[in-house]
Amino acid sequence: MAKILIINGPNLNLLGKRQPEIYGTTTLDQINELCIEEAKKHSLDATFAQSNDEAEIIDLVQSAPGKYNGIVINAAGYTHTSVALMDALLACNLPIVEVHLSNIYKREEFRHKSYVSRAASGIICGFGAESYRLAVAAISNLIKK
Ligand code: DQA
């Protein structure tokens, strides 16, 4: 069975109570369940991770080759700032889908730039928690290719 790693960056542990008008009321635990459910439909085994620490996220990406067949990543604030995370993603040689709850292109200008996008095959954003379901379906397609 193919394996996917779903990485969540800083402050996503606060989902449910964090700016619900932007991010909705679904908690990260509920998103985890939704991803596992969607992964099962595609015969994928999903591992879910969250960290507020940039170095920890980079370590996760570095350790993914050989263990996982693809990565879904919501790097949250690091999306717009982290060259180091982009470099790790470029080096891992795995299919990558970038995901965001909000439509980052509809928001402040500084959110329009994504370093993660330079390493990802594609980006899904703006559908709230549903973005993750779509991202799991997308990574499944990429893995099968
Ligand atoms: C986010 C969008 C980012 O701009 C923001 O910093 C986040 C969440 C999203 O899922 O919509 O923390 O990645």
Task: Write out the two tokens for 118.
Answer: 């330079």
Domain that holds residue 106: 2-144
CATH number at residue 130: 3.40.50.9100
The whole-number pLDDT of residue 145 equals 86
Is 42 known to be catalytic? no
User: Taking CA 100 as the corner, what is the angle to CA 98 and CA 105, rounded to the nearest 5 degrees?
Assistant: 100
Residue located nearest, by CA, to atom 6 of ligand 1: 77
**pLDDT at residue number 24:** 95
Tell me the CB-side half-sphere exposure of residue 7, using CA atoms within 13 A: 31
Give 41 Cα–ligand 1 centroid separation in angstroms.
27
Does the annotation mark 23 as catalytic?
yes
What is the 32 CA–ligand 1 centroid distance (Å)? 17
- Half-sphere CA count of 45, side-chain side, radius 13 A: 6
State the closest ligand 1 atom to the C-alpha of 9, by its place in the atom list counted from 1: 12
Per-residue pLDDT of the chain (145 residues; tens, 9 = 90+): 999 999 999 999 999 999 999 999 999 999 999 999 999 999 999 999 999 999 999 999 999 999 999 999 999 999 999 999 999 999 999 999 999 999 999 999 999 999 999 999 999 999 999 999 999 999 999 999 8
Q: Contact at 8 Å (CB) between 76 and 12?
A: yes
CA 21/CA 34 separation, integer angstroms:
21
Q: Please tell me what DSSP assigns to residue 139.
A: H
Element spanning 26, H or E:
none
- How does DSSP classify residue 120? -
Sheet holding 96-100, edge to edge: 44-50, 2-8, 70-74, 96-100, 122-125
Q: What is the dihedral of CA 112, 92, 139, 69, to 10 degrees?
A: -160
pLDDT for position 119: 98
Question: pTM for the full model?
Answer: 0.98
The number of distinct structural domains making up the chain is 1
Q: Contact 5/45 with Cβ under 8 angstroms?
A: no
